[in-house]
Amino acid sequence: MIYFCIIEWIEDIKTKLTASGIGFIETEPYLLELEGKNRSVDLYLLNTGDSFSGRIEKCILLHEDIFRARKNHVIQRLVSLLGLIQNRIHGRQIKIHKIDRLTGRQFINDNHLLSDGGGSIYLGLFSTNNLVGVASFSKPLFMKHEEPAYYSSVLIRFCTLSHTTVVGGLDKVIQYYLRTYQPDDIITFVDREWSTGLTYETIGFECIGQTEPLTFIISNGERTVLGKDAAANEKQIIIRNHGNLKFQLKCAK
């Protein structure tokens, strides 16, 4: 049986999926099976304030507020996950250089679903002098309370230019960072609502844990984290996510 939703934002995403060349079947209310190149993805649509109780490993969760705020970024992420991006640049063609924070933040805001997440070090991926990707990192932090003590860094964001895939770009920029800054490990976090972290596992990262879910208040279409000891009033809309997976790359020296 095929079901049809008539909620405005869901109709909007269906229109944008079709315009982007993504085929889909609505298999049950709020669940779209997206068809890509040699793979399919289940996309579960959550109205603002709704929750999800199924197996998150089996689908992508798309919240209404995220879609409304970042429509083009959502569609671009889905196109990428489905293997439908046509413009492919091989890592051998890429040069990596440190770039200024303003340029890096602007690129990430323009091309990453979650916008810029801060960072001290921004590395640019260049193809024939064109910026086609950016990774943001923390500076190596000395973990003096660990035994033995060591230097740890965080990969905060990585993204490429819209409608572009840099084959091997993530691995190449990480190797550049390791050679240049020489941490003992790199930590990164993967949003459980969008990924299982397979891309990181294929380049040597290991999943070492999971963060606690965060609670957000939705106000004027924007999310604000609700502190542990804070309480929302009855008029505020609450969203609770599913936390992140924590990955670690141990760096041989």
Q: Per residue in 226-244, pLDDT tens? A: 877 667 676 778 888 999 9
Q: Are residues 136 and 232 in the same domain?
A: yes
Identify the pLDDT of residue 6.
52
* 41-51 mean pLDDT: 91
Classified as helix, coil or strand, 3 is: coil
For residue 181, the 8-state DSSP code is: H
What is the percent of the chain with per-residue pLDDT over 90, rounded to a whole number? 76
pLDDT given for residue 5 in this prediction: 45
Of the residues 26, 55, 81, the one at which a domain ends: 81
Q: Mark whether 101 and 158 lie in a shared domain.
A: yes
Average pLDDT estimate for 32-52: 90
Cα separation values, 24 from 34, 36, 38, 172, 253, Å? 4, 9, 14, 34, 47
pLDDT of residue 13: 96
Tell which of 61, 81, 101 closes a domain. Answer: 81
Does 123 share its domain with 41?
no
User: Domain with 28 in it: what CATH number?
Assistant: 3.40.1350
> Which band of pLDDT confidence, cut at 50, 70 and 90, is reported for residue 86?
confident
Same domain, 116 and 214: yes
Residue with tokens 């298999």: 27
Q: What is the pLDDT of residues 158-168, one digit of tens each?
A: 999 999 999 99
In this structure, is residue 67 part of a structural domain?
yes
pTM (predicted TM-score): 0.91
pLDDT at 199 over 60: yes
Residue 241 domain-assigned (yes or no): yes
Candidates 217, 219, 221, 222; CA nearest to 240 is 217
Residues 191 and 233 in one domain: yes
Output the pLDDT for position 118. Answer: 93
Q: What is the pLDDT of residue 233?
A: 73
Q: Which residues pair with 122 in a beta bridge?
A: 99, 136
Tell whether 116 and 44 lie within a shared domain: no
Residue 109: pLDDT above 70?
yes
What per-residue confidence (pLDDT) applies to 1? 36
Residue 3 domain-assigned (yes or no): no
- Residues 28, 3 contacting (CB under 8 angstroms): yes
Q: Are strands 185-191 and 150-160 parallel, antiparallel or unpaired?
A: parallel
Same domain, 113 and 63: no
User: 124 and 219, same structural domain?
Assistant: yes
Average pLDDT of the segment spanning 31-48: 92
Inside any domain, residue 62: yes
Task: Give the residue with greater pLDDT, 123 vs 39.
Answer: 123
User: What average pLDDT score do residues 64-80 get?
Assistant: 94
Q: Which of 23, 51, 81 is the last residue of a domain?
A: 81
What pLDDT score does 38 carry?
A: 81
Q: Are strands 87-90 and 60-63 parallel, antiparallel or unpaired?
A: unpaired
- Could you give the percent of the chain with pLDDT greater than 70? 96
Burial degree of 105 (CB within 10 A; 0-12, 13-18, 19+)? buried
Is residue 2 one of the residues assigned to a domain?
Answer: no
For residue 95, pLDDT over 80 is answered with: yes
> Which domain covers residue 232, as residue numbers?
89-250
Q: What is the pLDDT of residue 230?
A: 67
The CATH number that applies at residue 223 is: 3.40.630.30
What is the rounded distance in angstroms from the CA atom of residue 189 to the CA atom of residue 120?
Answer: 17
Residue 152 belongs to a domain: yes
Provide the pLDDT for residue 229: 67
- pLDDT band of residue 136 (cuts 50, 70, 90) is very high
Are residue 213 and residue 132 in the same domain, yes or no? yes
Same domain, 55 and 167: no
Q: Does the pLDDT of residue 189 top 70, yes or no?
A: yes
Identify the three-state secondary structure at position 147: coil
Residue 242 in any domain: the answer is yes
Do 14 and 122 lie in a common domain? no
pLDDT value of residue 225: 86
The total number of structural domains in the chain stands at 2
64 & 121 share domain:
no
Question: Rounded to whole angstroms, how far apart are CA atoms 60 and 74?
Answer: 11
159, β-bridge pairs = 134
Please report the beta strands in 14-148, taking only residues with DSSP state E, as ranges in sequence order: 23-28, 31-35, 40-46, 60-63, 87-90, 95-99, 121-127, 130-137, 141-143
In a domain, 114, yes or no: yes
